Each structure stands twice: as structure tokens, then as C-alpha cells.
Amino acid sequence: MSKYSSDLLRLLDERGYIHQTTDAAALDALAAKQIVPGYIGFDATAPSLHIGSLVQIMMLRRMQQTGHKPIVLMGGGTTKVGDPSGKDESRQMLTAEAIDGNIASIRTAFERLLTFGDGPTDAVMVNNDDWLSELQYIELLRTVGPHFTINRMLTFDSVKLRLEREQPLTFLEFNYMILQAYDFRELALRQNCRLQLGGSDQWGNIVNGIELTRRMEGAEVYGVTTPLLTTADGAKMGKTAAGAVWLNEAQLPNYDFWQYWRNADDRDVGRFLRLFTDMPLDEIARLEALEGSAINDAKVVLANEVTSLVRGKEAARIAADTAAATFAGGGFGDDLPTLAIGAEGMGITAICTALGFTQSNGEAKRKIAEGAVRLDDQPVKDPSFIVNITDGESKKLSLGKKKHAVLTG
């Protein structure tokens, strides 16, 4: 029996999204009687978000599934400042044109997962540059500044951890929490927004926004955070040895995206199915109870379901077929990464690094010494081996059991 009466909080609770809430009882009562507009803010620092943001996007999807209104706030303005949360150094400044291009690219991922439109529960995407760029700085300081104390700002993890590590925190970045709090106040006025969602690292920023909105507008607004999302082995979600797991295909091929989920730790399968798919909870319970090699069937389901949501059903089908052909032995499939080898050939260590299988030639040499690198399923033992491929020919390169690519002439 759920402790919540609203469909929204009940669904978020059952599927493992809730870490902290502000006044859960009042939010539950509000969500049970009316449509609640709620938002999450996203950076525009790259042309794609990675899967570390997917749990937040899924929360917006859950809002829409339970009859509420998702607001996607793109940080076109705050991206010009930089969020210091969880970072040890200042990030590169982007031009306005680059930020706008990133937002347009990022929107494509949201359009697969949310329904946008003009209806009462249709999603909307807004850009905080629309109001932040119009602020007169002195007026902002006079109006908003008195609601913040330096004493309290210094206690937030985003600031405190940077200072403890003796990493520079610029005055520009120090303003970020004020601007994010101001976003909540603006969205409350412009969109009647009543809820901000975010990761647990955003708790301080969310509380700031709630307090500022109450003080300036007298409005009751609420916050919900998700748990810090890590894999069972403690790694941060969305990061791999080969780099970020991007949501957009232009930044990461469909097969690699599918394979990330297929390679999930056994202990993560049930949690990931609840967070990142729409599968019924009883079916998820059945899958996560599988033992031994049978759990691999659940991982294939996970990979298919998440890839279908984020990349589309056809992308999931092709990736699954490619994996089946590759792992059956001898086959290439249609979706493996490829690398063209020139007429003069290419060293095996350089090939491993060029494909992203290894981060350096030194690492490639170690993998070769361990017997982990295979060409057409035969181990390569010489780190100086030169791969030559005639025109029209192709060979399969493998690193371990999970990384495969096609080399062409």
C-alpha cells in the first residue's frame, strides 16, 4: 500500500525515483486534485545530454503519464555562467550561437520521450536566457540579493567542496545558485510552475528557489530529488572508460548505446528497468529474479526497451540483430562500428585506440599481452602487428567479449 494518494508521487515512489521531498504531504494533496506543472533544468554545454540526465527526463515522462505538465528548462542563460555543482574546475565559455545549436540538438531526444504541444498536460521547452538576458544586473542584486547570505551560500556542497579541494571558484560561478533560484520564481509566474525536480546534487539549488519564490511571490512551491545514480560497482551513471554514453546518435552509435545497457551489472537490472522503461512492475520483478546465465535475457530486454524509448524501435531492432550475429560467432551484423584501414595497413595498437576500445596505445599493448585482442576470433599476440586488408575485404576486431568492430579495406 503506497503512502501517497496522488498517482504522481505513487508512481515516482514505486519505481525508485524519490530521494528527498519538500513538504511531501502538501505536494501529494496538490497533485491528487489538480494538474501540477513541474520543471527540470538542463545544461546546454554539448549537443547532446548523456544518460546521467536520463533519469531526470524519465521523471518528466512520469509526470506526463500521470496527468501533469512537464516543463523542460534549457539553461541558455545559466550555461553562460556555469554550474559549479560536482565540478573541480571552471568550464569553457560558449558563444550564444553554440548554445542555441546545442539546445536545438538536445530537443530531439526530448521529443521521443515527451509529447509537446499546447494542451494542459503537453510538455513545453523554455529557455532561461529569455529572462536572464533581460535582467539589469544592479536591479537583480537589489531585488534578489537580499534574500541570500554569503554565510549560507558557503555551506552548499557545490561551493564548499570546490573550496575544500582548493580549486578556484569564480565569482561568475558563485552567482549560479542565485540565477537558478530566480528561474523557479520566473517559471512560477510565467507557467504557474509548482514543482522542481532534479538530482540529489541539486537539493541546495532547489531549496533556494523554493525559498526565493515564497518570499518574493508568496507562492507555495515544492521540490523532489532523485537518489545519486551510480552503478552497482560505484561508478557514476553515464560515464564509461570509453567516454560518456550520449543520448543522441550523432554523439554515440545506436549499437554502442544498446550495448551499454546489455552490459549492465546483474545487480542493476531491476533498478534500471524500473527507472528507464515503462514495463509493468510485476514483469520487472520476474526478470530481476532470474539467476545465472538467464539474467542475460533480462539484460537484452533492458537494452531493447531503453534503446526503443531513446533511439526508436528500429534502432533497437538493428542493434539487437547486430549483437546476435556478432556473438553467434563469425557474423558482423549491420550496426557495428567500422574503421577503414588504408592500403599501407595500420598497427593493431593504433586501431584499438582509434576505435575507442582503449584510451591509449599503452593500454592497447597491455590488452594484447593479456590475450584480450582478437582478429577474426584469433588472438593477436604481437603489439607491433600490422593489419592489412585488401579492397572489398573485411575483418572483425574484438576486445574481450563485449567490444567488436569491423575493419574494412
Same domain for 54 and 111, yes or no, is yes
Same domain for 58 and 99, yes or no, is yes
Chain center to CA of 102 = 15
Q: What percentage of the chain has pLDDT greater than the value 90?
A: 57
At 123, the amino acid letter reads A
Same domain for 267 and 354, yes or no, is no
Grid cell in block for residue 262? 546489455
Instruction: List 375's β-bridge partners, or say none.
Output: 378, 397
The domain containing residue 161 runs over which residues?
A: 7-226
Do 116 and 208 touch, CB atoms closer than 8 A?
no
State how far the Cα of 89 lies from the Cα of 354, in Å rounded to an integer. Answer: 28
Same domain for 222 and 348, yes or no, is no
Same domain for 118 and 217, yes or no, is yes
Domain boundary among 297, 327, 357: 327
Instruction: Look up the CATH number of the domain holding residue 299.
Output: 1.10.240.10
Instruction: Look up the CATH number of the domain holding residue 96.
Output: 3.40.50.620
Pairing of strands 378-379, 373-375: antiparallel
Q: What is the pLDDT of residue 110?
A: 98
Instruction: List 363's β-bridge partners, or say none.
Output: none
Same domain for 276 and 305, yes or no, is yes
Within a 13 Å sphere around the CA of 275, how many CA atoms are in the beta-carbon half? Answer: 23
Domain assignment of residue 58, yes or no: yes
Same domain for 201 and 107, yes or no, is yes
Instruction: Look up the CATH number of the domain holding residue 403.
Output: 3.10.290.10
Q: Give the DSSP per-residue string, 113-175.
A: HS-BSSSTT-BEEEETHHHHTT--HHHHHHHHGGG--HHHHTTSHHHHHHHHTT----HHHHT
The dihedrals phi and psi of 55, each to the nearest 5 degrees, come to -65, -35
Q: What is the pLDDT of residue 65?
A: 98
Same domain for 33 and 161, yes or no, is yes
Same domain for 301 and 357, yes or no, is no
Same domain for 115 and 261, yes or no, is no
Helix (H, G, I), strand (E, B) or coil at 391: coil
Tens of each residue's pLDDT in the chain, 409 residues: 679 999 999 999 999 999 999 999 999 999 999 999 999 999 898 999 999 999 999 999 999 999 999 999 999 988 876 554 544 444 567 888 999 999 999 999 999 999 999 999 999 999 999 998 887 765 776 777 788 777 777 777 767 777 777 777 776 667 778 888 999 999 999 999 999 999 998 998 899 999 999 999 999 999 999 998 888 888 888 766 567 899 999 999 999 899 999 989 999 999 999 999 999 999 999 999 999 989 999 999 999 999 999 999 999 999 999 888 776 554 555 567 778 887 788 899 999 888 888 888 889 999 999 989 988 878 899 989 999 887 667 788 888 877 888 888 6
Q: How many folded domains does the chain comprise? A: 3
Domain assignment of residue 154, yes or no: yes
Pairing of strands 346-347, 373-375: unpaired
Helix (H, G, I), strand (E, B) or coil at 224: strand
Domain assignment of residue 291, yes or no: yes
Q: What is the pLDDT of residue 66?
A: 98
Do 315 and 307 touch, CB atoms closer than 8 A?
yes
Instruction: List 403's β-bridge partners, or say none.
Output: 399
Q: What is the pLDDT of residue 169?
A: 73
Name, in order, each residue with C-beta under 8 angstroms of 40's C-beta and a sequence gap of 6 or more.
56, 57, 59, 60, 71, 72, 73, 196, 197, 198
Same domain for 150 and 269, yes or no, is no
State how far the Cα of 68 lies from the Cα of 60, in Å rounded to an integer. Answer: 9
Domain assignment of residue 342, yes or no: yes
**CA dist 86 to 143, 157, 267, 280, Å?**
28, 8, 26, 34
Domain assignment of residue 332, yes or no: no
Strands (E), 35-100: 37-42, 69-74
Of the candidates 125, 121, 126, the one whose C-alpha atom is nearest the C-alpha of residue 36 is 121
Grid cell in block for residue 280? 509493468
Q: ∠ at Cα 143 (140, 147), nearest 5°?
A: 110
Domain assignment of residue 209, yes or no: yes
Domain boundary among 327, 352, 376: 327
State how far the Cα of 193 lies from the Cα of 217, in Å rounded to an integer. Answer: 12
Of the candidates 377, 112, 128, the one whose C-alpha atom is nearest the C-alpha of residue 247 is 112
Domain assignment of residue 245, yes or no: no
Do 79 and 94 touch, CB atoms closer than 8 A?
yes
Same domain for 195 and 343, yes or no, is no
**Residue written as grid cell 547570505:** 149
